[in-house]
Amino acid sequence: MTDTAYDTRLVAAVADATAATAPRIWGFGVGGTLTALLRAGDALHRPDLTQRVIDLVAPSLTAPPDPTDHLIAVEALLPLAARRPDLDVTDACRRWLAAVRHARPAHPGGPRLHRPDLPPWSSTVWVDCMHTDGPGLAALGHPDEAVAYATEYAAALQLPSGLFQHGYDAEAERGNGVAWGRGQAWALIGLTETLVHAPDDGLARRLTRLVDALAAHERDGEWSTVVDDPDAPVEASTSAYLAWVVPHAIDAGLVDPAHRAMADRAWHATLRRLDAAALTVSEATPVGAANDYHHRALGVFPWGQAPVLHAVLDRTSEEIR
């Protein structure tokens, strides 16, 4: 696809491909998919896209506490409630807040364990947690907690290079050392969305180090699935997320504007890989050894479509209006 496709047809095609995926309520990364569909529904004047979000989340709005409550997408529930005041998201937000606050670290001052009930990951902290806790706490009006939680995760997960490792065993106090491509996106979203609502110099420096490190490993707008391993296969979702999030971080004054060119290259790389408005990315990926990341199955998933739809909405907003 080329630049000439920057029109509502592309937005609609990506939105339809995104709506056709099956987000797990609640799973890591689902919030971006839901917010993208809400934005597309507004931009295209298509209530069916908003209804798709409602159909996905409505059954969970009033439900008994569940171990996955810490993944409730607060960032999607709040704008959904603004569009549909008849939907009461209060209980779901309360359950999310309780689950996140109830999480305890394995050692004082360490990162909090989301799923101590889940072997074999009972003591694992995922980089995915970066995009849930800090932004959610900030969105619900708890900026100090947002900074504290984000700082705990980042301290455990950020490597000396500035990249983030995928997982950290909080009991053993040891990480897996693998700079997973999509994991950099979770850290990027988490730091950016936390800082937008809760400024903090320490987190801002961590964000700068992350984006600078990503720039150092870019290959014409793309990144390996293990970012610092040039022999690893390309992970297309990384480009899509950087194309979406980096411009927002720049606009918020959090990232050097010089990195906008990198985000543009990431967007062009994403366009080159679109097939019928769908982006093929790696499947859900558990924490593992470096070589494990080289052999993940590929497909069209909610976590891959979300950044494409957000980015195309951002980059075609003038044409839509």
CA–CA separation, 103 vs 160, rounded Å?
27
- Extract the residue ranges of the chain whose pLDDT is less than 50: 1-6, 321
Q: What is the CATH number of the domain that holds 79?
A: 1.50.10.10
C-alpha distances in angstroms, 171 versus 127, 252, 268? 16, 36, 42
Q: What is the pTM of this model?
A: 0.95
What is d(CA 40, CA 18) in angstroms, rounded to the nearest whole number?
10
The whole-angstrom separation of Cα 265 and Cα 125 is 32
Pick from 109, 108, 106, 113: which is nearest to 129 by CA?
A: 113
Amino acid at 256: D
Of 5, 9, 83, nearest in space to 44 by CA: 9
Q: What is the dihedral of CA 35, 114, 112, 147, to 10 degrees?
A: 10
Instruction: Please report the pLDDT score of residue 7 as a whole number.
Output: 72
Q: pLDDT tens-digit profile of 227-280?
A: 999 999 999 999 999 999 999 999 999 999 999 999 999 999 999 999 999 999
User: pLDDT of 158-179, one tens digit each?
Assistant: 999 999 999 999 999 999 999 9
- The Cα–Cα gap between 259 and 205 comes to 15
Main-chain phi, psi angles of 105, to 5 degrees: -80, 155
Please tell me the total count of domains within the chain: 1
In contact, 208 and 250? CB cutoff 8 Å: no
What are the respective helix, strand and coil percentages of the chain, to the nearest 5? 60, 5, 35
* DSSP label of 71: G
Bridge partners of 168, per DSSP, are 125, 175
Q: Which range of residues forms the domain containing residue 135?
A: 3-320
What pLDDT shows up at residue 276? Answer: 95
- Alpha carbon distance, N-terminus to C-terminus of the chain: 22
Instruction: Check residue 22 and report its DSSP letter.
Output: -
